[in-house]
Structure 1
Amino acid sequence: MRMRIRPARKDDDFQAIAQIYLTTWRATYAGLFDQAFLAGLTTDMWHPEKRWQQTVVAETDEGRIVGVCAYGASRTPTLANMGEVYSIYILPAFQHLGLGQQLMAKALAQLKRQYRTAFLWVLRDNVSAVRFYETLGFKLTGTTRDDHDCVEQVFIMQLI
């Protein structure tokens, strides 16, 4: 099956994209977040239509969106003047096919147009994500925050 990475469009199926977030959260964060918390999540919690101009998607030849990466200006005051990768999620059946690297490459290329540095937050205990970001060249900074009884840490990358 061939895939393509493209910018999101304002007429994309944002309910399907919200479902990617929900499905992937439940699969990825099982054991990291409380099960009751994950079970209580709904697609109404995500609003990808609000950021479609700062989103890239992975799509099958049949037009099914199976991955998403959102990015933009920093939402963290202490990391102002940097670009941020807000999220990257790929349906479990489509993981480990190189889509994550392709989505990140497109998002980082867009961020590079405006910023010299990009960062992202990742759960400290999400070992596979930590390895993925380190492979891409992100470096751990030591900045952390607590989120739902889990610790998130900042990884940063120079874009120049």
Structure 2
Amino acid sequence: MRVHQTSGTTGTPLRWLDTQASWEWWAHCWRFVLAGAGLGPSDRIYFPFSFGLFIGFWAGFEGARALGALAIPGGGADSLARLHAMQALGTTALVCTPSYALHLAETARERGIDVAALPVRVTVHAGEPGAGIAAVRARLEAAWGARAFDHAGMTEMG
């Protein structure tokens, strides 16, 4: 069993326990999200998050595994180290909050790294509003030179 919680973006975070079956359900759902964004077994998907209680990107990481893609954890590293890891590992997709994707792009710009030159072709966002808002999605796509997808929270929806 596992304990996780929602992001708390719109209120107090909700906590719950996952069984093996419910955890596999999370992975199954995220597998469809990633496949819907055009990702598959040949992709290298980078997850720059801290692996705390928030369920979203844990489930995304498991979804990448279920998809057969290479799931790359980026927890414990600063933004510059994450950018270098993405370069070194040939990352083809980025999964994070939209605000962090914009922060990474700005950090890269300040350091002379062109993220649009990375092999990243897809970014998938969750945990906060953003990629579903046309103006934010346009900023993400311009910064990364990649198609941006939004994933609505699943926990509150049941």
Query: Taking structure 2 as the reference length, what is the TM-score of the superposition?
Result: 0.33
Give the number of the structure whose residues are more often strand, by fraction: 1
- Greater helix fraction, Structure 1 or Structure 2: 2
